[in-house]
Amino acid sequence: MLHAISISRPVKERLQERAFTGRVLSVHRVVCNLIDDGRDVITLLGPSVGQGPFGIALEPAFESLTVGDPAHADAAQLVVGELTVTLEGAPTWEPRPVWPRLRPARERVAAGFHAFDGWASSAIWGGLAHVTGADQYPEGKPTFMARLARGKEAYSRLIVEGLGEAKREALLQGARLLAGLGPGGTPAGDDFLVGVMAAIWLLGQAADAPAIAEVAAPRTSVLSAAFLQAAGRGEFIALWHAMLDALAAGDLGQVEEAAMRLESYGASSGADALDGFILAGRCLLADQPSHQQVEES
């Protein structure tokens, strides 16, 4: 029997309220995703992956599991196929960064953003802004434009008008354009939106994040919707916490290291999310007017 290394606070609270009965949605070497009939997701994560907003961390032992295997969990234990995990006594992990501490550090965050200055010529946000082809980028750099034909319009709606001009409807139109676009369990468009929501929680109007999640989640896969909804609540994987803390400290070296770790997350999920964060963050740091200021004017 395995013992959980940690359990995220939302999962712990959910299991204290009611049991989880579902099945294996997908299984990988160090990650196993579970889903129930209500489309709630629990992710089992090896310690090398780091915790997540709906995760249970444990030493990975997923070789015997297959898609469709039954899964049941309560506050005491989790049973998936032949795997049994004790949850009692596992430390609780909080997926929500301490936003009241991070948001006032705007000047240090602005200084920390200089860690991204050297990335602009080769990363995805340049493609979104200038609509260049994938062949304009160095080899090995996943390009958003190579996968998303609607990149230019999404950029204009989401970033230029939605954040830059504080137009809520344009923001939501951009989110609708990106939701579900791209291959994989978490499409690139959704990952980009997660990064945008991280920037909004840190630097923008917090109400914009749940608004984005609300319009985007119904347009994508179950797993990706879970990440979008978590981001709408201000909850992110552990790699985001490290980078946000480094930004709030204004430490360029730590920001760069944390960003590189985030960029390597998944096949391209971390890179796509980081691109959304940087592009949105640069816009929000430009001291654009708030929604309230625009309405008052």
Residues 65 and 171 in one domain: no
**pLDDT value of position 134:** 34
Q: 180 pLDDT band (50/70/90 cuts)?
A: confident
Residues forming beta bridges with residue 34, ordered by sequence position: 24, 42
pTM to 2 decimals? Answer: 0.87
Residues 73 and 172 in one domain: no
Band of the pLDDT at 108, cuts 50, 70, 90? very high
Q: Are residues 239 and 276 in the same domain?
A: yes
Give the whole-angstrom CA distance, residue 180 versus residue 152.
16
Q: What CATH number corresponds to the domain at position 39?
A: 2.40.50
Q: Are residues 129 and 256 in the same domain?
A: yes
- The Cα–Cα gap between 255 and 258 comes to 5
Confidence at residue 292, expressed as pLDDT on a 0 to 100 scale: 39
177: confidence class by pLDDT, cuts 50, 70, 90 = confident
Tens of pLDDT, residue by residue over 204-225, are: 999 999 999 999 999 999 999 9
- The pLDDT, as a whole number, for residue 208 is 96
Domain boundary among 66, 93, 120: 93
| pLDDT at residue 21 greater than cutoff 90 | yes
Burial of 188 (C-beta count, 10 Å sphere; 0-12/13-18/19+): buried
My answer on whether 146 and 218 are in the same domain is: yes
For residues 154 and 42, state if they share a domain: no
Q: Which of 76, 93, 110 is the last residue of a domain?
A: 93
Average pLDDT over residues 55-82: 95
Residues 282 and 190 in one domain: yes
Q: Do 83 and 114 share a structural domain?
A: no
Burial of 261 (0-12, 13-18, 19+ CB in 10 A): middle
Q: What is the mean pLDDT of the chain?
A: 86
Same domain, 50 and 174: no
Beta strands 83-86 and 2-3 are parallel
Note whether 111 and 236 are same-domain residues: yes
Predicted local confidence at residue 185, as pLDDT: 79
| Per-residue confidence (pLDDT) for residue 272, from 0 to 100 | 85
pLDDT of residue 31: 95
Please check whether residues 130 and 87 belong to one and the same domain: no
Task: Tell me the CA distances in angstroms from 242 to 21, 42, 250, 257, 258, one per residue in order.
Answer: 33, 22, 13, 9, 6
Mean pLDDT of 192-202: 96
Q: Looking at the structure, tell me whether residues 135 and 150 fall in a common domain.
A: yes
Q: What is the band of 105 on the pLDDT scale with cuts at 50, 70, 90?
A: very high
Domain that holds residue 50: 2-93
- Final residue belonging to a domain, choices 78, 93, 108: 93
Structural domain count, the chain: 2
